């Protein structure tokens, strides 16, 4: 029997309409369609946000590369052409660049100016100007900008016998090397 309200103006035959169940099932179809549509819409939204993330990440990476290249040109070091020319010059003058132990490199670099370092171990493979960093001075942490030079495959790792991938040299505000960092 139909769940519709029976009224006096209706006759009994109208209330027992066999098609009334079909009408109710069509509303179930609408609900199912709305659920499927909502799921598809949510899926499209997730895909769209993911695509925007990847596009933005690629754009940020391109901006970082452009900024790095501009900085390398401003400093005059670090661009691939200069690095390639430097490697060719090293080969012409007798093969590969000399590698140093940590102690030798420290002795040749620490406390020296950029020109003295170039004369002692050669030109760096990369240079960065005005890199912000924290320094402890008299028990107080102070933020300062420093210049950094990087030398690739020039300092031997005592533990492995292979060169460190990078040796980074930091310059203080007097233009002298005051810190060395090694990266495997």
Handedness of CA 120, 88, 67, 181 (dihedral sign): negative
CATH architecture of 99-183: 2-Layer Sandwich (3.30)
What are the backbone dihedrals phi and psi of residue 170, each rounded to the nearest 5 degrees, phi first?
-105, 140
What is the spatial distance between Cα 72 and Cα 128, in angstroms, rounded to a whole number?
A: 8
- 155 DSSP 8-state letter: B
Query: How many CB atoms lie under 10 A from the CB of residue 109?
Result: 21
CA dist 87 and 151 (Å) reads: 12
Consecutive H or E run containing 114: helix 114-121
What distance in Å separates the CA atoms of residue 169 and residue 66, rounded to the nearest whole number? Answer: 24
Q: How far apart are CA 118 and CA 108, in angstroms?
A: 10
pLDDT of residue 149: 92
Distance (Å, whole) CA 4 – CA 1: 9
3-state secondary structure of 74: helix
Domain ranges in the chain are 18-65, 99-183
Cα 110 from Cα 102, distance rounded (Å): 11
Mean pLDDT by 10 residues, the chain (184 residues): 54 57 62 87 88 73 63 56 52 61 92 90 86 80 86 89 90 89 88
0.85 exceeded by pTM: no
Read off the pLDDT of residues 82-134 as tens digits, 9 standing for 90 and up.
555 554 545 444 445 688 999 999 999 999 998 899 888 888 888 888 887 77
């Amino acid at each position: 029997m139909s769940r519709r309200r029976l009224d006096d103006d209706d006759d009994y035959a109208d209330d027992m309409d066999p098609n009334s169940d079909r009408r109710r099932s069509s509303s179930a179809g609408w609900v199912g369609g709305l659920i499927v549509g909502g799921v598809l819409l949510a899926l499209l939204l997730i895909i769209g946000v993911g695509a925007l993330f990847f596009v933005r990440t690629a754009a940020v990476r391109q901006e970082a590369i452009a900024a790095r290249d501009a900085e390398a040109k401003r400093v005059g070091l670090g661009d691939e052409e200069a690095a390639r020319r430097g490697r060719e010059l090293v080969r012409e003058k007798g093969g590969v660049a000399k590698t140093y132990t940590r102690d030798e490199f420290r002795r040749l670099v620490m406390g020296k100016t950029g020109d003295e370092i170039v004369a002692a171990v050669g030109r760096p493979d990369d240079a960065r100007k005005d890199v912000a960093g924290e320094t402890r001075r008299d028990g107080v942490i102070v933020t300062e900008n420093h210049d950094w030079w990087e030398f690739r495959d020039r300092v031997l790792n005592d533990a492995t016998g292979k060169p460190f991938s990078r040796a980074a040299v930091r310059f203080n505000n007097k233009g002298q090397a005051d810190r060395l960092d090694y990266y495997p």
